[in-house]
Chains A and B, each alone.
Chain A
Amino acid sequence: MRARLLALVLLLLLAGCSSGGTRDDGRITLRFQSLAWQEESVEANKELVKEWNATHPGVRVEYVQGSWDSVHDQLLTAFEGGEAPDIIHDASDDLADFAYGGYLADLTELLPARLKSDIPQRSWETTTFGDGVYGVPFLQEPRVLIANATWLKRSGVRIPTPEKPWSWAEFRRITEQLSGRGTYGIAWPLKEPVSATLNLSLSAGGRLFHRGADGKVTVRFEAADEVVPRTIRAQAGTDRSASPTTLGSGGSDTLPGFFGGRYAMVPLGFSYRQQIVQQAPKGFAWQVLPAPAGAGGLTQGVSPQTLSVAQDSPHQKEAAAFIDFLLRPQNMVRLALGDWMLPTGSRALDDPALRTPEHGWATGAALAAHLRPAPAQTVRGYPEWKDKVATPALQEYYSGAINLRELRKRLEEDGNPVLARYQR
């Protein structure tokens, strides 16, 4: 009796599990895997899909929620198994392997001229691998200084603007001036020290990766590359103007100290403003300042969010048409507002909603013209170089365990053989 009952339960369970199958009504169905995760952003994406489906009865788009946390592994498996979504949301620094591996469609001939001309060439460079374009860069964020406005005003320091930013030397002086007993002018969240250092170093004219005539990339840590690491090390070490405890933290971890009056400024991605709006205590006044500038001006490296089409998709033209719809200027504005980021499209960027001084939108929008592809974008072997060589080397340098000469030695002498393995 018991055995029969068990068998019945099992059958019921399996019946409950069985897949529903897909409707076959002759329409094209595209799967759009989105990585949007913030409430407003998910809402904006779902609304746009709904609008597309309402106006395009022949091509139905199915919204699939992905996750930033594991997107690379998930996509790799899906590509290998021939089951990838038709339209793929990702970031440009994750595309190189997929583009070179032949998993993504070359969009050069698929995208309309309107979209091609709306997004500046410097953004297209982030998704160009070899001769093809493998994604549409659509949202990006500069690293900015989020500052305690009351603290800065009280101290009387000059407030930087995109037109007249702080130099790295001035920034160092000011953070020292803002520091006191138990308080710091700045808190660097450097859990991921490599991308932060490399991207900011463009402002000082740093390049780090040098491509030779043979097309091969080598690491050279030159004087311009030293500016940013030197400044951070001096702030955390000799000046004591940067909190030593946040060097291993993520951006969110610095916020309680920022709100609690321990740090005058925190360098964070532009989208962190959403968290600040949500979590800041009532009456807490904050403002967005541009990151310091150097020989390279306000230039910064970024890896924009992208939309790509799977090479295996049988409906590449329709998928590209959906991307074109999603990235119409007014739609791009909605996506940018939802994610608290900057659109790459020049018409969207001119929208008044993104030029308002409220929440620092105007400052961020003014920085858009200075954003360039992250230096590591197209360097093959970069993930291994970053994980095995650069991350531990920079962490040790910032904590004071090694000096600049040792840092250079590690990045170049230990790092170049790693890159060379990928470029034979």
Chain B
Amino acid sequence: MRTGTPARVGQYTALLAYLVFLAFPFLWLLSTAFKPPRELGSLHPTWIPENPTLANFRQAFDEQPLLHAALNSLLAALAAAVIAVLIATPMAYVVARRRTRLAKAVTGWVVVSQAFPFVLLIIPLFLVLKNLRMINSVPGLVLVYVVWALPFALWMLAGYVRAVPPELEEAAAVDGAGRVRTLVSVTAPLLAPGIVATALFAFITAWNEFFFALVLLKTPEKQTLPVVLTHFIGAEGVADLGPLAAAAFLATLPSLVVFAIIQRRITGGMLTGAVKS
């Protein structure tokens, strides 16, 4: 079916409007990061700073240990993503392929576990970590992030496993491949985009997470980036807007870069098996 020109124009206009809607906060953040204080208090703000300055970035770095905090965030997010995927992948395979009662119960529990608000969990989690002597340690935080990301990672990966036709594994078995060989040579390559997408989800969740990090990490040298960003906010929500925007802009960069690098693999993975050829 061919789409007429007016309809096509309408589609592109809607798409453009959606893009603007999505990009607006980020572009405004970018603009704010380069504005001097006087322009931040202007009644008629401009998109392009009239007197662009790097002072906000300088102040942000002078006042807070941003690089150190970013390194902590990176370590915690990478470790959480890798561990979550390592645990979730075999679990997801079993849940998707074995139609036992246990597998159904696990899936049900995963869905139910998403209903608990984290404020409900924080005190019990804190006490557990305290008994494990993991308060104020990045590994303790990683453990929490893994537990936090695991249910959704499992649910997401199980969907990817289901999308891999079991017939492919059966064909490999007919050709003489053992269970491990089938998993490694047939299933795993087809699951790769799903694994990458899940890892990305776990990474971004951990990278942006604030409350657990705030509560669990006590010493400044262990704090993560989202916690350090709140140091630019004062009582009654008054903020040091310029340095906050500069630091927040830098904090969004790693997520953007990671996403840009692997987005092709994600969309590729999503389309795998979508059509029969």
Stretch at the interface among A66-74, A130-138, A355-363, A384-392: A66-74
Query: 1/0 per residue A15-34: CB within 8 Å of B?
Result: 01111100000000001000
B162 within 8 A of A: no
SS class, residues of chain B in contact with chain A: helix
Cα–Cα distance between A252 and B236 once the two chains are bound (Å): 10
**Contact A256 B43, CB 8 Å, known A39-B59, A81-B123:** yes
B75 touches which one: A17, A269, A272 (CB < 8 A)? A17
B126 within 8 A of A: yes
Q: Look across to chain A and name the residue whose beta carbon is closest to the beta carbon of B79.
A: A13
Query: 1/0 per residue A309-321: CB within 8 Å of B?
Result: 0000000000000
Q: Look across to chain A and name the residue whose beta carbon is closest to the beta carbon of B188.
A: A2
Residues of B within 8 A of A209 (CB): none
A-B contact count (CB 8 A): 140
Residues of A within 8 A of B233 (CB): 37, 67-69
Count B-side interface residues using an 8 Å CB cutoff. Answer: 54
Residues of B within 8 A of A151 (CB): none
Residues of A within 8 A of B63 (CB): 39, 42
A383 within 8 A of B: no
**Contact A260 B43, CB 8 Å, known A13-B82, A17-B79, A62-B219:** yes
B240 touches A38 (CB 8 A): yes
Cα–Cα distance between A139 and B230 once the two chains are bound (Å): 21
B238 touches which one: A64, A82, A252, A279 (CB < 8 A)? A252
**Contact A63 B220, CB 8 Å, known A81-B130, A82-B130:** yes
Query: 1/0 per residue B209-225: CB within 8 Å of A?
Result: 01100110011111100
**Contact A65 B220, CB 8 Å, known A19-B138, A70-B214, A250-B236:** yes
A67 touches B123 (CB 8 A): no
Residues of A within 8 A of B136 (CB): 19, 83
B230 touches which one: A6, A9, A67 (CB < 8 A)? A67
A142 within 8 A of B: no
B272 within 8 A of A: no
A78 within 8 A of B: yes
A278 within 8 A of B: yes
Q: List 11 A-B contacts (CB under 8 A).
A: A10-B79, A10-B82, A13-B78, A19-B136, A35-B235, A37-B231, A42-B63, A69-B230, A260-B43, A275-B41, A275-B238
